[in-house]
């Protein structure tokens, strides 16, 4: 099942969210890059799983809802929260790695839990086909 692969990618990315454990800039960049690869793979596989789970006529709505959730939950508040933590909690612009870890860590845990929950409920969805006009032709 694809959703299990998405959950596995998200789980592999989880320890990489602790990028604040190192102070070497190249290590921080490497951890963030690998985290980005695994979570991007998880998201992409998750969208393909969504395509399998929803009826054909609802696929566009499903992808639009995922995109809306990514923008409203990740791109907007995620980047703003990182900046606010850097400015108001640490008062030091060089502590961006710690800020990223504080934002990315809980988000990664939530993502893993949601992927594994979806995988545990993963069952084949039967899509009812609409009867075609030809199948009801008079005898």
Domain ranges of the chain: 2-123
**What pLDDT is attached to residue 123?**
54
| CB burial string 22-57: b at 16+ within 10 A, e below | eeeeeebeebbeebeebbebbbebbbebbeebbeee
**What pLDDT is attached to residue 92?**
92
Convert the pLDDT of each residue in 85-126 to its tens digit.
999 999 999 888 888 889 988 888 998 998 899 888 865 444
What pTM did the predictor assign?
0.71
Question: Cβ(40)–Cβ(56) under 8 Å?
Answer: no
User: Angle at the Cα of 134 (from 133 to 138), degrees rounded to 5?
Assistant: 95
Two tokens, residue 77: 């508040």
Span 60-81, average pLDDT: 90
Using CA atoms, how far apart are residues 6 and 97, in angstroms rounded to an integer? Answer: 25
């Amino acid at each position: 099942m694809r959703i299990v692969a998405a959950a596995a990618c998200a789980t592999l990315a989880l320890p990489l969210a602790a990028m604040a454990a190192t102070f070497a800039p190249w290590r921080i960049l490497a951890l963030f890059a690998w985290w980005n690869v695994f979570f991007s793979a998880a998201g992409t596989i998750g969208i393909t799983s969504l395509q399998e789970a929803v009826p054909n006529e609802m696929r566009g709505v499903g992808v639009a809802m995922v995109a809306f959730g990514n923008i409203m939950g990740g791109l907007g508040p995620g980047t703003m929260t990182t900046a606010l933590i850097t400015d108001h909690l640490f008062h030091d612009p060089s502590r961006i790695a710690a800020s990223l870890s504080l934002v990315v860590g809980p988000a990664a845990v939530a993502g893993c839990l949601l992927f594994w929950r979806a995988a545990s409920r993963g069952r084949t969805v039967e899509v009812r086909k609409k009867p075609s006009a030809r199948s009801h032709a008079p005898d």
